[in-house]
A and B are shown apart, each in its own frame.
Chain A
Amino acid sequence: MNIGHLYLLLLKGTVTAFAGLASLPVIQESLVDHYHVLTNEQLNEAVVITRSSPGPVGLYVVSVGYFAGGLPGAVAGWLAMITPALLIIPMVHFVGRRMQHPRVRSVLQTIVITSAGLLLAAAIPLGRDGLTGAITWAIAVICFILLLTTKFDTLWMILGAALVSLTASSVGLMAYL
């Protein structure tokens, strides 16, 4: 895929999302479902990589770009990640007080909640690809409960999950992963 095209597809995701992973449904639809330059497994791996390393969650777009187009793809991902940030300049300069206007707030709130609904929809194929046995299901459920009820850093959770599945594999339970 042409790198400029990849940048525009990734930008379509980042510029229409208001949180790191909220761009995932749009990117999934473009790169996985439509252009087939990425798999749901790679999308999951991109999330693993960025949640296991320092920096913002939105960095997963860089991993996605790398998987789809190698190093030039990673550059496209980086550009798609940073481009929307420049929009804060006109916002700070011109729109500051209007951001409190009820109509603006209502539109933004609706977009954010819609992003959440779309992200839940996007998690279905990710789960279908990633949760393939009793142990991976158990890991996902336990991690989800821990994420809701504790302040464990996701880095330690992902490392712990990796250790559990590695242990399960080494004691002959690979078929349950």
Chain B
Amino acid sequence: MAHDLNHGAPVADLQDERPSVGQIADVFVRYANFTLGGGSATTAVIHGEIVGKRGWVSEEQFGLSFALGRLTPGTNLLAFCTGIGWGLRRWTGAIVALLAASIPCTLFVVIITALFAEWQENPFAQAAIKGAIAAAVAVTVKTVWTIAHPHFRPGNRIRAVLIGATAFALHTFAGISPIDVLLLAVVIGFLLSASS
């Protein structure tokens, strides 16, 4: 009997249809590693494969893993894949999905990083890298907005700006470490919810 991803409640007798470890590895190697366009694009591709095409999980199960993946620390996409794997075959599924979703792209990045160190000796490559790094600075600044904008809603904007600006100032001007600022954020978040 397969179980609901949320609280272990039975949802359907899917035991015979549970994908094998090999099938889970195959799907996550192919669709979680090589999609360009970031986590959202990859999630959409995986949705088409495991909900639409193969019917491994329901929309609700997929949605729960997606939502909790976004609330899990670290790389959201990997947490999402782990959650799906857990729903399919518990610990084995979770570990296989996590490894399959992370090892191939990691190897690719290691190779590119090693080559990058070699290319730095080449003057043409040096010039190209300078431009690429300027674009990366823009990407980093844009990511600030990507992270913050879901919380920049009407009625919440002043709170979002105050929290973001305070974190910026505490680290930049007061020299407080990021970890301490984040711990302070936990306390502030708790107090704000108690007062509202």
Binding site for B on A (CB under 8 A): 12, 14-26, 29, 41, 44-59, 62-63, 66-67, 71, 74, 78, 81-89, 91-93, 96-97, 99, 102-103, 105-124, 126-127, 130-132, 135-137, 139-141, 143-144, 147-148, 153-155, 157-166, 168-170, 174, 177
A88 touches B108 (CB 8 A): no
Interface centre among B74, B80, B113, B194 (most CB of A within 10 A): B74
| A interface SS class | helix
Interface residue range, chain B? 35 or more
**B51 CB-CB contact with A under 8 Å:** no
**B181 CB-CB contact with A under 8 Å:** yes
**A46 — which chain B residues lie within 8 A by C-beta?**
113
**B70 — which chain A residues lie within 8 A by C-beta?**
18
**A118 — which chain B residues lie within 8 A by C-beta?**
167-168, 171, 178, 181-182
**B2 CB-CB contact with A under 8 Å:** no
What 0/1 pattern do residues 37 to 81 of B give for CB contact below 8 A with A? 111001000000000000000000000110111111111111111
**B164 CB-CB contact with A under 8 Å:** yes
Q: List 18 A-B contacts (CB under 8 A).
A: A26-B178, A57-B75, A82-B98, A88-B72, A97-B6, A97-B7, A106-B193, A113-B167, A114-B182, A116-B164, A117-B163, A117-B181, A119-B147, A121-B172, A163-B131, A165-B131, A168-B131, A169-B127
Contact A106:B192 (CB < 8 A) given known A55-B33, A88-B79? yes
Binding site for A on B (CB under 8 A): 5-8, 33-39, 42, 64-65, 67-83, 86-87, 91, 94, 98-99, 102-103, 105-106, 108-110, 112-114, 116-117, 123-124, 127-148, 150-151, 160, 163-168, 171-172, 177-179, 181-182, 184-186, 188-190, 192-194, 196
Partner of A86 from B94, B112, B179, B181 at Cβ < 8 Å: B94
Partner of A89 from B82, B109, B165, B190 at Cβ < 8 Å: B82
**A83 — which chain B residues lie within 8 A by C-beta?**
74
Shortest Cβ distance from B80 into chain A, in angstroms? 8
